[in-house]
Amino acid sequence: MVAPQLSATPAHPLFALSIPPAPHPRILASLDMASTNIVSNTRVVRASYANKARVTEAQFRVESNLEIDLASVKEGEVILRNLYLSLDPYVRFTLDETGGETPASWRTLNDPFYGLGVAEVVASGCEKYPVGTLVSVNTGYEKYTRVAGLNDPNTASDIRVLPAHARDESTGVPLSNYISALGMPGLTAFAGLKVLGIEAGKTIFVGSAAGGVGQLVGQLAKTQGLRVIGSAGSDEKVSYLAEKQHFDGAFNYKTEDAREALARLAPNGIDYYYDTVGGEILDLVLETINDMGKILSIGMVSQENGKEPYPIRNLNHIARKGASILGFIYWHHLKYFTNGELDGTIRPLLERKEINYREEVFDGIENAPKHFVNMLDGKYAGKVIIKIADL
């Protein structure tokens, strides 16, 4: 018999704790199904560090047959059955032993990886989240996750109850969209464009335009009257951007000179650059951006996963042109979740097929390591998601 094991995390993703389970009398009474309290967990844990080297499957270990008693839930906790898990490049930082952009608690060996997911509450010690509630939350790479600290208003803000219509997939909006177009990528695109302060009639260039964020940035900007161009890493992705996602133009940065491509696609220059790439293309944009242009930096994937940093040489153009580089922190814009503006803006566009969001969905939590490595290597188009269970 394998001893009960279950990851525990408070709602706020910056603090990952290990909280030993203890029975909660109210929950024991409410479950009333002693024969089905025990479930089997499978999880993906951090086996080793990659540090500055390329990530491989050697950094991951899959652990199975871990028994969990749902009746062990404590006051202020819930146990989640994870349905969909988002694979995101930022998790790469948790494979560095020190430094990086994540706290030490996210980098502990033999602990599960964490990422954003859609989950169903299956045991609850918190009246705000009754059994059956659908949530989006920072959750473990596993079938079941314990979320703690929900009675503390300072740490409970990052578990998000999904709207009732999230269950209705008949409108053409799958539940998985709540960790893609209606989740973190959607918020990053939506809020990022607000930070840029885009204006109709101008030109925006989107780096890594076929990715989970970039594809939505371009389509949202197009609905607001901008000329939209993008870069991607394959001819298939370039064609998809132009034919399915309403981009005015795109180029394959692996086969076409970026300077020539930007001159061809943006003859009047670039007013905004939505940068997820950094490196050489950022340096080129700094040189060629229009006067008073704006660059929003949300990441630099070209500088990650064992790649040598590119030395930026053209920062002097910021002063010469009155241009600006703006940073973006996802957590600063959660209000668009809570006030319903993100869902109210993007879901109708999805339902009316005015935007086309591309997901790559793969089955099985045990396959997360392979697909995470492939994602970092640029082998997928769109948002990469692991389906763990049906609703």
Query: What is the structure's pLDDT at 97?
Result: 87
Give yes or no: residues 35 and 171 share one domain.
yes
Asked whether residue 304 carries a pLDDT value surpassing 80, the answer given is: no
The reply to whether 215 and 315 lie within a common domain is yes
What pLDDT, on a 0 to 100 scale, did the predictor assign at position 16? 32
Other beta carbons within 10 angstroms of residue 202's beta carbon come to 19
Domain count, the chain: 2
343, part of any domain: no
pLDDT confidence of 98, banded at 50, 70, 90?
Answer: confident
pLDDT in tens, 8-23: 554 443 333 333 333 3
Which residues contact residue 34 at a Cβ distance below 8 angstroms, ignoring those fewer than 6 apart? 71
Give residue 152's pLDDT.
79
Q: Are 188 and 174 within one domain?
A: no
Are 47 and 117 members of one domain? yes
Could you tell me the CATH number of the domain that includes residue 59? 3.90.180.10
Structure-derived torsion over alpha carbons of residues 94, 98, 102, 108, reported in degrees to the nearest 10 = 50
Q: Identify the H or E element spanning 38.
A: strand 38-46
Query: Residue 80 — pLDDT band, cuts 50, 70, 90?
Result: very high
Looking at 331, 348, 369, the residue that finishes a domain is: 331
Residue 126: give the domain boundaries: 8-180+358-387
Q: pLDDT tens for residues 170-211? A: 999 999 999 999 999 999 999 999 999 999 999 999 999 999
Give the tens place of pLDDT for each residue, 269-278. Answer: 999 999 998 8
**Nearest-angstrom CA–CA distance, 150 and 129:** 9
- DSSP class of 174: -
Do 315 and 366 belong together in one domain?
Answer: no
Rounded to 10 degrees, what is the CA torsion of 78, 79, 83, 88? 80
Please tell me the distance from the alpha carbon of residue 5 to that of residue 143, in angstroms, as a whole number: 12
d(CA 53, CA 374): 15
CATH number at residue 289: 3.40.50.720
Do 22 and 79 share a domain, yes or no? yes
> How much is the pLDDT for 106?
75
The string of DSSP codes covering 94-133 is GGSSS-TTS-GGGS-TTSBPEEEEEEEEEEES-TTS-TT-
Q: Does residue 234 share a domain with residue 326?
A: yes
